[in-house]
Chains A and B, each alone.
Chain A
Amino acid sequence: MNDALDRIGFAATAACIAGGILLHAAWLPATLLGTYVIVIALSAALILSGRKPLPAPLRIGVMLLLAALVVRTFGNPFGREAGSALLLGMLAAKMLETRARRDARVVLSATCFVALAGFLFDQGPVQVGLAFLVVVALLATMALLADPRPRPAAQALARLREPATVGARYALLAIPFAIACFVLFPRLDSPLWGAPTDAFGARTGISDRMQPGMLSSLALDDTPVMRVRFDGEIPRPADRYFRGLVFWWFDGSTWAGKDALASFDQPPVLVAADAALAYEVIIEPTDQRWLFLLDAPAAAPAGATLTGDFQARRDSPVISVARYAASAHLDYRMQPELPRLQRRLGLQLPEGNPRTRALAERWAAESGGDARAIARRALDLFNAEFIYSLEPPLLARDAVDDFLFETRVGFCEHFASAFAFAMRAAGVPARVVVGYQGGFVNRAGGYLVLRRADAHAWTEIWIEGEGWVRVDPTAAVAPERIAESARAQLDLRAGAEAPGWLSLLRQRSDLFGYWWNRSLIEFSALRQREMLQSFGAPPDQRVLVALLAVAALLTLGLASWWLARQQSTGDPVLAEWRRFRGRLARAGVEVLAQLGPRDLEARAVASLPGLAPAIASITEAFVDLRYRRAPAGDGVDAERLARLRRAIRAFRPPRVRRGRIRRQ
């Protein structure tokens, strides 16, 4: 077996790995990215300069070093990031010892996995497009490696064209088959094995604790988080609070929810005063279990549960684009009876911040313990003297005191945190809620887009007879933040309002993203069944399999037919001549390879005397094109070729059945 790998084959394999790394470039730390590129460049330099591979101990050393680097970067070798980085590192190290075709093929197979892993991070249109290009490169390299003909170094580059064409052709022709399988391949309702829960590092976005600066770091991030389509009118901005996490525990600087609290024994109690508003959410992957629901959630979406403090927790993390349907009440009373545990947690206070405590106690005394009056005092204070800013100054040790009495500049998390602290100090149960607020209506698509910049923190206080009531202290400082969005407000302040056409373009591109997610990325077993039902077919796996078989045969058959047709023959004149010979053979003329055109003509005329003039003129035209010098001028040959082609297309001798020729 010819198992040698020439330089051009090596270079193509290295290019495929480089493409695989490119698919991970968005998240891969720069140190790792640089190291991988250096290792691959080193292996390529060794091969191209014709040197021997590095000695085995050195190669193993490089491999271990790369693995150690990955573990050092991520803390462990498991999980999505570390796993992908490790795979890429091993591939880069493998290039150092790739000398045979077999090695290159192992590398190519692993590169397919690399492309797959890339989709764990991003399934957007750009990533999918890049991955398609990598597939073309992979197939082209496989075609290059499979070609056993020797490649002289001088012609090596010219010889790349054929495998590149093959790769692109097969990748394109496989698309219909891939779509058919995508739509009809029976999906799993539930994972075969558990999707890793903690294996995924948190993505940028809301996390499970709130520190000062967490939300302001997102304020300029326009990445969409979720898109919401309402069954009726889109609610007013002031009503668009999408509730995510509820924080009870405060240690002086950080708010956190306690895991134990997620399983409150008290059920969520909601007394609704209006009809439920139904909506549907397409959410981008968050790698977290919680969902964001419009306040106040009427019920948990399928596959999730609603905790006693109205957090929606999914059974599995949202690791890829997901869809859920939910409904909400805008006019409600939440938990009119306060459970004992909630009261205790809602009044928990850390040590410190004596000035705030004193102030809150004074408020409580002056208003006679009326929760609403205390809250109004606090909001009035915020409204009168505080500044809403993206870049608040750092706070000292008693963070709440420092904020309330010294800096007086903050972002929503500062206001929520200080307000909740003050309320608790005044004896009113309070908690912090984090989620998304406001959003941006895409008029072209008729849906609401919530971006990372819309992340928001607000508070809830418990009032006797009314239950948990939402109080947004940010609204007291910067009401426009609630009416519009943080981003729009910042743009306004900088005097950089987007022109109309740009905003229209943004809406259109977001609409494309919405469509992409809704129709491609979020397709699931459920949607598959819905699709079958909409065609009136029973939602049965057997129906799917039967449909799949038909569709696969159809798409593959068409693609094969196209491939057979596309087999190019090189010289167009010879191709036409071959077609002519084929027609003669089918008409029963014995076409032998050693016959020249003139001999064939004689034979053909002898057995098909009726067609003698046509045969003679075709032969004449062929001999003319193939053996005589072309007269001056460029266009003449194409014209003569076209004439020959027409003559041969028109040449249709009666067919003789194949079997008879064989028997002869």
Chain B
Amino acid sequence: MIAAASQALRDRLLQWAERRLPALTRWRAAEPLPIALHPRRIYVLPTGFGLMFGAMLVTMLLGALNFNNNAALMLTFLLAGAVVLSMGRGVRMIDGVRLVALRVEPVHAGSPATVELQFEESTGAPKRQLELSYGARQAIFDLADGAARVAIVIPTERRGLQPIGRMTLACEYPFGLFRAWSVLHPDVRLLVYPRPEAKAPPLPRGGGATGSSKASPIGEDWHALREYRHGDPRRLVAWRASARAERLLVREFATPRENRVELTWAATEGLSHEQRIARLARWVIDASHAGATFALHLPGETLGPDRGPDHRHRCLRALALMP
């Protein structure tokens, strides 16, 4: 409760700061890929350990000066020198890192999305001990050979286009006394499908449906050959005919009329708006799983009839983006 309230307050403050202090928060705004990090957008502050160590060095300095103990003074200055030298090293580790690509598969609301980020570096020096954090989650990686692929997991809650949000690339190399960091805010949004209803009624049967044919999702009757389209199952490829024609051909079957499903917005009458979307999402998934040809009728838009993963994606996307 308190945590939520303080989080809300922090978000409010941050928003205010970004409105009022554009110079300070410029590097936090969303920006298109690739994002190249350079020293002007890398911040450094001592860590808790750094502050403790610094306080200790000051105490040591006072003691050594007071007793005019020269060996102790030398020890203090030696440690201080190492500390100061380590200050800029984290910045050097982050400087020159670029976020060049970002890949994410759509997921249903409520399940975590895995975002894969492709980093590169352009300075030629290896980048080590980098720490990418998103919220409380972290991924640790090296850019030893100039490139690295890092996966982070982002929680999702609501359907629609969800901004990826800010993440932090930080480095405490070499001693953990200072933390250098830069904010990455890629202007990429992640598509979140609606959460499907858990216990939905079975698929509505369009045009007096009979028993479904889950056992043989592909129709019985061979109908025609057509060009391969992306997403066609491999077992549908007519290999012999393709070899003859020197291009990929796919067998097309006449779908029995019984296996055709009409999913309509109207069929979910009586439920709340979000529940209607959830039920339709469940039906789309079930129909697609059953290999059925289905059409989705939404207010102002009709998709299909069609089938296959592309169609499924289009339908779920339309549902996700419903107002």
Contact = CB atoms under 8 A, between A and B. Distances in A.
B85 A170 contact: yes
A578 B85 contact: no
Nearest to A174: B81
B175 A192 contact: no
Contact of A563 (B53, B78, B80, B89): B89
A131 B71 contact: yes
A150 B131 CA distance: 12
B62 interface: yes
Contacts of A178: 74, 77-78, 80-81
Contacts of A173: 81-82, 85
A570 B125 CA distance: 10
A616 to B, nearest CB: 22
Name the residue in B52, B57, B145, B175 with the highest tally of chain A Cβ atoms < 10 Å from its Cβ.
Answer: B175
Contact of B63 (A116, A521, A560): A116
Contacts of A279: none
Contact of B70 (A132, A521, A575): A521
B118 to A, nearest CB: 8
Contact of B75 (A135, A139, A142, A578): A135
A522 interface: yes
A582 B124 CA distance: 7
Interface in B169-204: 172-177
A145 interface: yes
Contact of B138 (A2, A128, A182, A188): A2
A51 to B, nearest CB: 27
Contacts of A195: 66-67
Name the residue in A131, A176, A525, A591 with the highest tally of chain B Cβ atoms < 10 Å from its Cβ.
Answer: A131
Contacts of A112: 56-57, 60, 75, 79
Contact of A559 (B80, B85, B177): B85
B86 interface: yes
Contacts of A567: 92, 125-126
Nearest to A175: B78
Given A112-B60, A148-B140, A522 B75 contact: no
Contact of B49 (A105, A175, A185, A593): A105
Contact of B74 (A182, A319, A320, A578): A182
Contacts of B92: 564, 567
B209 interface: no
Interface in A172-208: 173-179, 181-182, 185, 187-188, 191-193, 195
Nearest to A662: B36
Contacts of B80: 174, 177-178, 181
Given A116-B64, A563-B85, A593-B146, A139 B175 contact: yes
A195 B63 CA distance: 10
A320 B84 contact: no
Interface string A95-120: 00000001001100100110110011
B83 to A, nearest CB: 8
Contacts of A176: 81
A149 interface: yes
Contact of B174 (A166, A181, A522): A166
Interface residues of B, number: 56
Contacts of A143: 174-175
Nearest to A195: B67
B32 to A, nearest CB: 14
B69 interface: yes
Given A105-B49, A170-B85, A182-B77, A192 B72 contact: no
Interface string B126-170: 100101000000101010111100000000000000000000000
B293 interface: no
Contacts of B84: 177, 556
B262 interface: no
B129 A187 contact: no
Contacts of A569: 124-126
B73 interface: yes
Contacts of A537: none
B56 A109 contact: yes
B124 A523 contact: no
A102 B88 CA distance: 23
Contacts of A582: 123-124
Interface in A71-102: 102
Contacts of B145: 574
A185 B88 contact: no
A25 interface: no
A153 interface: no
A372 interface: no
Size class of the A contact interface (CB-based, 8 Å): 35 or more
Interface in A34-90: none
A187 B68 contact: yes
B68 A188 contact: yes
Contact of B82 (A145, A174, A182, A192): A174
A127 interface: yes
B122 interface: yes
Given A116-B76, A119-B75, A149-B140, A570 B126 contact: yes
B29 interface: no
B65 interface: yes
Interface in A578-614: 578-579, 581-582, 585, 591, 593
A147 B129 contact: yes
Contacts of A147: 129, 173
A520 B74 CA distance: 10
Contact of B129 (A109, A149, A320, A563): A149
A192 B129 contact: no
A524 B68 contact: yes
A442 interface: no
Nearest to A145: B176
A65 to B, nearest CB: 27
Contacts of A319: 67, 69
A575 B146 CA distance: 10
A591 B121 CA distance: 11
A460 B117 CA distance: 90
A563 B174 CA distance: 12
Interface in B76-110: 76-82, 84-86, 88-89, 92, 100
Nearest to A193: B66
Contacts of A145: 176
B269 to A, nearest CB: 52
Contacts of A348: none
B71 A174 contact: no
B77 A181 contact: yes
A320 B78 contact: no
A399 interface: no
Given A148-B129, A173-B82, 17 more contacts: A2-B138, A116-B75, A128-B71, A135-B78, A149-B140, A170-B174, A170-B175, A174-B78, A174-B79, A174-B81, A174-B82, A175-B78, A178-B78, A182-B73, A192-B65, A320-B69, A525-B68
Q: List 10 A-B pairs, minimum CB-CB distance, nearest first.
A: A174-B81, A146-B176, A177-B81, A178-B77, A123-B71, A181-B77, A119-B71, A593-B120, A178-B78, A170-B82
8 contacts: A105-B49, A106-B52, A113-B59, A116-B75, A128-B74, A174-B79, A177-B80, A320-B67
